[in-house]
Structure 1
């Protein structure tokens, strides 16, 4: 027999049995929200009225749990080990390939209908591992999932947990997992490879091995219906045992041509000029991450605003895209001549001598001197505002 919202009822009961009023009240509030969404407004009101009569000061042994102001803290530095945000629904724009977006939606449906799936013996622990190159949308995906679920996002920076106080890492982990069990939320373990690196390699020390073991134990002890997300830029470094703890595993690839065009259109918006060659922009941005496309778009729009333009300049957009690729590939043009040489090498058709002269506000002859390496100190062109800023 199906019993709606059994998860919340059991969490309320767990809180009562543990004398944890915080846990009971948090999940009672979530239960009221879900009942109201189901049309049971009268019952939701009665639950909220009962909660309103509860004491405002809930004793939950903050010192014993290592909590300050409600957040878990590192016992020595006294700094919070979690960042909390609650992105409103609809506030996060997520651009992912169709197949990837579908798999995230499937995960969301498993979260929203967990009780139904459990009654059918088809539920899996609500844990997803996101992995891929930096800038492919892992953090944005976590924010989007939290916003769609209407839950706060609790982000633990795993590299900080490990590097700040190595001997305290296991204790910090325990406090984080205890904390998230007390309230409806999405726990996001960012930079996961810093915490869950494979055991047994030559660089390992005993403490790091104990951290991985503590991490696995904490994940195993976590309720199956608590949403846990983890993100890694270096998935090959992860311990094999970690993968088995995440039934949902999602690689985030670089955006394909269709998605790149969609991203450019979305991020440039009304600042896109009518003359913009979308096909060339899409082709020339092959290999770019979503984060790079977003940054180039923002830079080009800022340049347009500061120049008093209603739309971005086509050539300026391509210039900033090209220079972004230079930085990604480890090149950093140190002078104007280096910059022009890079642009010509990147695409001599887009950056013709005439176009470069226009962009840098100099004569074609001066640009030609730069290209041929014949310029001297006396012939340096005056740089246009924003010519090197990127």
Structure 2
């Protein structure tokens, strides 16, 4: 009965000149059998018993979550924030924009280094729109069976259109890699073709978000399918200062020099800053401290920078030498002694050994960097 009434409504809209709305209703009716099967299990929302599965492993190919904005908003550079707000406005007022031919497909591609907030951005968008987030699991979506990956893709896209949601394709380069390179195989080319066809088949109002760390690997045809392309770069000085303040909560940041922290953390991502703050806050709680120790915070930042740069600091002595060489202004003999519970004489002895042990440490660090 509902299908019959929907068909009549589509006919009435078309006769009144609203062909776009009529077409959308008929597209929904074409998918009705799959949607009605799930509706028997879940009157509201998605049916978790009918999540799309891989035909080979029988594992789910999507995860469903309901992000919220309770933990604060995502901090982004001003230009990126403006572009995201434009994307959200395009979704919220899609029909108004469509009437004047100014609506763009609700598809966004975020790209940039790891740790710059691409996954958080997808959750941020879903939270702002108060929609469920469907995250595609590439580990189960990609199958070893010929043609199974393409079938899995089709099922995921069909499932995402049962009700309004944000479909999130993380690690997008695993599905949308450029065709034609010497190491390519026919099956990978078919997956890209299937992906392009599925994107083209969904209504322009369907919300699709994709993210990749390797935008240079994407097939050129993929870029044309996304009206909104967002570069996610490492945070600048002003943004790093805001990140330090946000991630240190609920500890007060008033006693800390956020400008110094922002300067010292040049070249690292927001994820690195978050990890340093989490480690520092955990240390403060375990030591029953009521505030964050600034020296401990900078120490953890220095060690994070060393790890990010591929340096091997496997002993206390190597940490002491690295910190003193990296930021001697903040790591005097007395400060290092307090942080590592060593005497000033012991710290002096460790630093004097730098000449003999430094080349070996540097060699190990260089070897790690070359392997990376």
2:234 is the alignment partner of 1:254: yes
Cα gap change, 1:250/1:273 in structure 2, threshold over 3 Å: closer, same or farther? closer
Q: Distance in 1 between matches of 2:324 and 2:160?
A: 53
Counterpart CA distance in 2 for 1:14 and 1:201 is 37
Report the CA distance shift for 1:362/1:112 in structure 2 as closer, same or farther (over 3 A): same
Q: 1:88 corresponds to which residue? A: 68
Cα distance in 2 between the residues matched to 1:272 and 1:164: 52
1-structure distance, mates of 2:289, 2:198: 54
- Per the alignment, residue 209 of structure 2 pairs with 229
- Could you tell me how far 1:100 is from its partner in structure 2? 0.4
Residue aligning to 1:240? 220
Say yes or no: does 1:193 pair with 2:173: yes
Distance 1:115 1:184, change over 3 A: same
Is residue 314 from structure 1 mapped to residue 327 from structure 2 by the alignment?
A: no
Q: Does 1:22 align with 2:35?
A: yes
1:8–1:307 distance in 2 versus 1, CA, 3 Å: farther
Cα shift at 1:88 = 2.5
1:361 counterpart residue number: 341
The 1:135–1:57 alpha-carbon spacing in structure 2 relative to 1, beyond 3 Å, is closer
How far 1:195 moved relative to its partner?
A: 1.0
Q: Distance in 1 between matches of 2:286 and 2:23?
A: 57
Q: How far is the alpha carbon of 1:24 from its aligned partner?
A: 11
* 227 and 19 in structure 1: CA distance in 2 versus 1, 3 angstrom threshold: closer
Match of 1:151 in 2: 131
Please say if residues 122 and 209 of structure 2, whose CA atoms lie closer than 8 Å, have aligned partners that are also in contact. Answer: yes
Deviation at 1:327, TM superposition (A): 1.1
TM (normalized to structure 1)? 0.80
Q: Is the 8 A contact 1:173 1:215 kept in 2?
A: yes
> Cα offset for 1:275?
3.5
The match for 2:150 among 166, 170, 176 is: 170
| Distance of 1:73 and 1:113 partners within structure 2 | 34
Give the aligned partner of residue 263 of structure 1: 243
Q: Secondary structure of the residue that 2:142 maps to in structure 1?
A: helix
Unaligned runs of 5+ in 2: 1-12, 355-372
Q: Secondary structure at the match of 1:298?
A: helix
Residues 210 and 345 of structure 1, relative CA distance in 2, 3 Å threshold? same
Select which of 265, 284, 290 maps to 1:304: 284
Structure 2 counterpart of 1:179? 159
Distance 1:282 1:165, change over 3 A: farther
Q: Cα gap change, 1:80/1:92 in structure 2, threshold over 3 Å: closer, same or farther?
A: farther
Cα RMSD of the aligned pairs, angstroms, is: 2.8
Give 1:269 shift. Answer: 2.3
Residues 99 and 308 (structure 1), Cα distance of their counterparts in 2 relative to 1, 3 Å cut: same
Aligned partner of 1:214 in structure 2 is 194
Aligned to 2:229, what secondary structure does the other structure show? strand
Structure 1 residue 210 displacement after superposition: 0.9
CA distance in 2, matches of 1:6, 1:105: 29
Tell me which residue corresponds to 2:268: 288
**Equivalent residue pairs, number:** 337
CA–CA distance in 1 between the matches of 2:295 and 2:320? 13
CA 1:194/1:282 → structure 2, altered by over 3 Å: closer, same or farther?
A: same
Q: Distance in 1 between matches of 2:41 and 2:221?
A: 41
